[in-house]
């Protein structure tokens, strides 16, 4: 019995290492050879965050309405790692992001060195989050499906490229995906372990700290909880009072945990919570109402303002891969009444949930006038996993009919 348990632990350990390396390694290659437009801004904001914390200027930890707090925490760790004396040598709070390069060079530091450190920490955070998601997916649909899903996520070109930058969207997408997977694990558990629910809330709080679109998780969690109630009502013909009460407690505890994480790790919330929240949501409303201040090239046309409602749908087709698109098509037979055996009940339920998430989130960001292709990045982990389930279903169908197919093609030859 002990040998079997040791073997299982050993297999799990090796699997974890391999999955982590598959995610981590491609995100850490040649991180010191390029710079994107917004990364120096976050390097400067991280320096301001570090400076504000050192002076206990809690209000000064508000650096941007996004709010990008997880990024500035990681950026501060990068400063502590590569340039711990920044707070002693910095001229003060930088109001212009372009100043960071001049300040660093004046003190004999290479800006790329600090940017590299921030990118390494982002890649590490994303890798840990997706590894946790791997084990969450394994509990929902099995390890094989989880491995295929992580393979598609690890090497998805668009997701890979953006999740190795010192920026918000890669970490945001990973955290949102993990929070949903953990919440689904909680709903699937017979005993509804609160530990899983709390973990989902913690990750949701980190996603809220990263970027305001993560607040979409709240109505989606409410929707999932309501769906469980509706299913229970249809099965039993009535809705017991304790089920309704438990659903309220579920959403309440999830929100409480996420809120505590949000407040605890965001010192500006300690001194001016209403002001911070109003600035975050006001900026989100501005993004929704106004277009770009600069031109956008989309579908062969240069546009000033909203590029139109087709923006994300067309861009998804350009940014994803044929492998994922075909996998998404392979999921469709599982929803046909005559082909229910194509997928397991668990695979079908997870696919439907993630497709619903992707559709609703796509609608949400389409409503906003300000559009960037990277804003749709949270769709990619979800749809990559759905595509993986489609490929697994197709492979299982082919394997089950291998003898018949062999006879058919053998006779044809």
Non-local (6+) Cβ contacts of 279 within 8 A are 62, 65
Residues 118 and 42 sit within 8 Å (Cβ to Cβ)? yes
Model confidence at 403, in pLDDT bands (50, 70, 90)?
low
pTM for the full model? Answer: 0.94
Over 80: is that where the pLDDT of 64 sits? yes
Residue 139: both structure tokens together? 């509990």
Residue-wise pLDDT for 312-322, tens only, equals: 999 999 999 99
Alpha-carbon span 317 to 300, nearest angstrom: 15
- Strands 295-298 and 301-304 come out as antiparallel
pLDDT of res. 324: 97
- What confidence tier does 232 reach under pLDDT thresholds 50, 70, 90? confident
Whether the Cβ atoms of residue 268 and residue 48 lie closer than 8 Å to each other? no
Give the number of other CB atoms < 10 A from CB of residue 236. 10
What angle in degrees, to the nearest 10, is found between the helix axes of 345-367 and 169-188?
140
Give the three-state DSSP class for 304: strand
Predicted local confidence at residue 321, as pLDDT: 96
Q: What is the number of helices (H) and of strands (E) in the chain?
A: 19, 2
Q: pLDDT at position 11, please? A: 86
| Residue 237 in this model has a pLDDT that exceeds 90 | no
C-alpha 301/C-alpha 360 separation (Å) is 27
Max CA-CA distance within the chain?
A: 81
Q: What is the CA radius of gyration of the chain?
A: 23
For 11-15, 368-372, 374-378, 400-404, which range has the lowest pLDDT when averaged over its residues? 400-404
Q: What is the pLDDT of residue 404?
A: 62
Q: Percent of the chain, pLDDT > 70?
A: 94
Residue 243's pLDDT band, with cuts at 50, 70 and 90, is confident
From 200, 147, 115, 208, select the one nearest 16 (Cα to Cα).
147
């Amino acid at each position: 019995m002990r040998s079997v348990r040791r073997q299982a632990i050993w297999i799990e350990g090796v699997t974890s290492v391999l999955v982590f390396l598959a995610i981590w390694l491609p995100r850490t290659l040649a991180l010191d050879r390029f710079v994107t437009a917004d990364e120096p801004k976050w390097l400067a904001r991280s320096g301001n965050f570090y400076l504000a914390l050192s002076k206990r200027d809690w209000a000064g930890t508000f650096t941007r309405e996004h709010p990008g707090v997880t990024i500035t925490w990681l950026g501060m760790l990068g400063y502590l790692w590569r340039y711990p004396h920044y707070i002693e040598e910095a001229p003060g709070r930088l109001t212009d992001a372009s100043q960071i390069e001049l300040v660093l060079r004046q003190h004999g530091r290479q800006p790329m060195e600090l940017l590299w450190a921030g990118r390494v920490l982002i890649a590490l955070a994303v890798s840990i989050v997706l590894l946790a998601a791997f084990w969450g997916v394994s509990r929902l649909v099995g390890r094989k499906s989880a491995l295929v899903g992580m393979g598609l996520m690890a090497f998805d070109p668009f997701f890979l490229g953006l999740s190795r930058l010192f920026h918000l969207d890669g970490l945001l997408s990973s955290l949102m995906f993990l929070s949903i997977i953990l919440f689904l694990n909680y709903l699937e558990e017979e005993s509804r372990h609160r530990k899983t629910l709390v973990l989902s809330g913690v990750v949701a709080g980190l996603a809220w700290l990263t970027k305001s679109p993560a607040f979409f998780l709240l109505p989606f969690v409410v929707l999932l909880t309501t769906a469980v109630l509706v299913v229970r009502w249809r099965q039993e013909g009535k809705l017991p009072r304790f089920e309704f009460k438990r659903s309220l407690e579920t959403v309440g505890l999830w929100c409480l945990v996420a809120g505590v994480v949000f407040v605890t790790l965001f010192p500006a919330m300690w001194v001016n919570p209403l002001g911070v929240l109003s600035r975050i949501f006001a900026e989100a409303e501005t993004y929704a109402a106004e277009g770009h201040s600069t031109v956008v090239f989309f579908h062969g046309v240069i546009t000033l303002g909203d590029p139109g409602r087709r923006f994300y749908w067309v861009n998804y087709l350009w940014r994803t891969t044929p492998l994922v698109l075909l996998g998404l098509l392979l999921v469709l037979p599982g929803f046909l009444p005559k082909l229910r055996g194509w997928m397991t009940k668990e695979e079908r339920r997870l696919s439907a949930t993630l497709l619903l998430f992707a559709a609703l989130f796509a609608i949400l960001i389409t409503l906003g006038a300000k559009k960037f292709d990277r804003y749709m990045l949270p769709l990619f982990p979800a749809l990559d996993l759905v595509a993986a389930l489609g490929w697994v279903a197709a492979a299982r169908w082919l394997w089950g009919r291998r003898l018949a197919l062999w006879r058919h093609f053998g006779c044809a030859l």
